[in-house]
């Protein structure tokens, strides 16, 4: 990883005024096509894979903003040559290199009159007269939109971290900040750019639109931590359709880590990833930390499971309880940094929890309600790294669930 980051830094420092793109990709337009279309761009990189981006920018002379470039075969071969050493790093896949080398070059050999087009999308929603830019934008899969939206919010949150923020009280123990509102605005604008017909539901601004495709957004989960300059927070974005959660992202705005999924696991194959340092690594849950995060922000007028469980000595004999007060910890279960996460409440359709639940399910965690029934059947959630951890937590939770159900 250090070599990858060092190589990226060398390329970036050599381009005066370099601004990393919000998205980038390289497509091939066959000679029989009259104009570029979305299907010509099967690989879209949203806020990631920055080494391939700067390598291609080096070859075509791009420094920033939104633009499209037609490449000669020699330029494509040069980009492949510059990027190829990165393949020695096996910590994550190299989809751009593989596409350029293993798909585009052979396709260009078969169709020498085809156009190879590199597209860069800047942070600002610039209008371009080049039809390749519109085609590339149309090619964005839902997962790329989710990553772009969550990252846009995370950038706002990171830039405002540690500043003097205005507070807007929600209750005696909860409030929103300027950062919450600004993050939600950035997320809403990004989604509207790529999915203008979809419905939107944000924690701060509520729901707009009637589409069956609905984006659930928590622009800053862990506001009280964040306002106290405690770097434990998340930006959560999830797309819900009648078929379920299609894609979900939980972004850590301080560490610049992006936990994301565009599907669910099958067998031992994970469907969840961590984007860090420009590449994607699969998420694999494990109980080895023995740390269990417990949601302890609950009602003031009655007992609730989290408040009782965290003080249970039987829990402390088995696990290390933690109270982080951010759903970032749910993503950490999928990533193997927590053995489990426990919360009370009703979570279906929650802007706070939908993304994290989807991540855990896609990574292969055991996710149920507090009674062990399918999630959303009853109260709360146990998201555990494996079946053994889940079984132990069910036994520990049961008396507290019974005591708070009357």
- Between vectors from CA 328 to CA 322 and to CA 334, what angle results, nearest 5°? 90
Pairing of strands 174-177, 167-171: antiparallel
**pLDDT score for 125:** 64
- Please report, for the domain that includes residue 230, its CATH number: 3.30.540.10
How does strand 340-343 pair with strand 291-294? parallel
Do 57 and 33 contact (CB within 8 A), yes or no? no
In order, the DSSP letters of 45-79 are EES--HHHHHHHHHHHT--SSSEEEEEPHHHHHHH
The residue range of the domain holding 126 is 2-138
Cα 214 to its chain centre, rounded Å, is 17
pTM exceeding the 0.85 threshold for the entire prediction: yes
| pLDDT tens for each residue of the chain, 406 residues long | 788 889 899 999 999 999 999 899 999 999 999 999 999 999 999 888 899 999 999 999 999 999 999 999 999 999 999 999 999 988 888 999 999 999 999 999 999 999 999 999 998 766 788 999 999 999 999 999 999 999 999 999 999 999 988 888 776 667 889 999 999 999 999 999 899 999 999 999 999 999 999 999 999 999 999 999 999 999 999 999 999 999 999 999 999 999 999 975 444 456 999 998 778 889 999 999 999 999 988 766 677 888 889 989 999 999 999 998 899 999 999 999 999 999 999 999 999 999 999 999 999 999 999 999 999 999 999 999 999 999 999 999 999 999 888 6
The total domain count for the chain is 3
CATH value at residue 381: 3.40.190.80
The verdict on 158 and 258 lying in the same domain is yes
Beta bridge partners of 177: 167
Q: What CATH number does residue 93 fall under?
A: 3.30.70.2010
pLDDT at 283: 94
Query: Distance between CA atoms of 156 and 173, rounded to whole angstroms?
Result: 24
Say if residue 330 is in the same domain as residue 234. Answer: no
């Amino acid at each position: 990883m250090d070599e990858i980051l060092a190589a990226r830094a060398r390329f970036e420092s050599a381009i005066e005024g370099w601004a990393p793109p919000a998205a980038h990709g390289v497509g091939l337009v066959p000679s029989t096509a009259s104009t570029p279309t979305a299907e010509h761009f099967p690989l879209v990189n949203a806020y990631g894979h920055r080494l391939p981006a700067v390598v291609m920018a080096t070859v075509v002379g791009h420094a920033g903003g939104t633009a499209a470039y037609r490449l000669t075969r020699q330029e494509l071969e040069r980009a492949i040559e510059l990027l190829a050493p990165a393949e020695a790093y096996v910590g994550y896949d190299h989809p751009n290199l593989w596409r350029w080398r293993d798909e585009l070059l052979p396709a260009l050999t078969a169709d020498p009159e085809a156009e190879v087009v590199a597209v860069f999308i800047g942070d600002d929603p610039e209008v371009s007269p080049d039809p390749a830019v519109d085609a590339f934008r149309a090619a964005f899969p839902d997962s790329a939109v989710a990553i772009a939206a969550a990252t846009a919010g995370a950038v706002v949150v990171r830039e405002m971290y540690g500043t003097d923020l205005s507070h807007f009280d929600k209750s005696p123990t909860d409030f929103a900040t300027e950062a919450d509102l600004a993050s939600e605005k950035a997320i809403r604008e990004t989604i509207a750019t790529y999915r203008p017909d979809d419905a939107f539901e944000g924690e701060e601004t509520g729901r707009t639109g009637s589409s069956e495709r609905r984006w659930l957004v928590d622009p800053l989960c862990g506001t009280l931590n964040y306002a106290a300059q405690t770097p434990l927070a998340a930006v959560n974005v999830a797309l819900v359709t009648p078929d379920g959660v299609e894609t979900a992202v939980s972004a850590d705005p301080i560490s610049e880590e992006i936990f994301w999924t565009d599907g669910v696991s099958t067998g031992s194959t994970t469907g969840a990833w961590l984007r860090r340092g420009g590449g994607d690594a699969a998420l694999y849950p494990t109980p080895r930390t023995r740390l269990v995060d417990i949601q302890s922000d609950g009602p003031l007028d009655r007992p609730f499971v989290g408040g009782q469980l965290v003080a249970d000595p039987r829990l402390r004999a088995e696990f290390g309880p933690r109270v982080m007060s951010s759903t970032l910890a749910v993503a950490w279960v999928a990533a193997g940094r927590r053995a489990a996460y426990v919360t009370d409440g009703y979570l279906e359709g929650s802007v706070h929890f939908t993304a994290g639940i989807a991540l855990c399910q896609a990574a292969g965690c055991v996710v149920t309600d507090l009674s062990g029934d399918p999630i959303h059947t009853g109260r709360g959630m146990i998201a555990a790294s494996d079946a053994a951890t889940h079984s132990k937590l069910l036994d520990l939770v049961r008396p507290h669930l019974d005591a708070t159900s009357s």
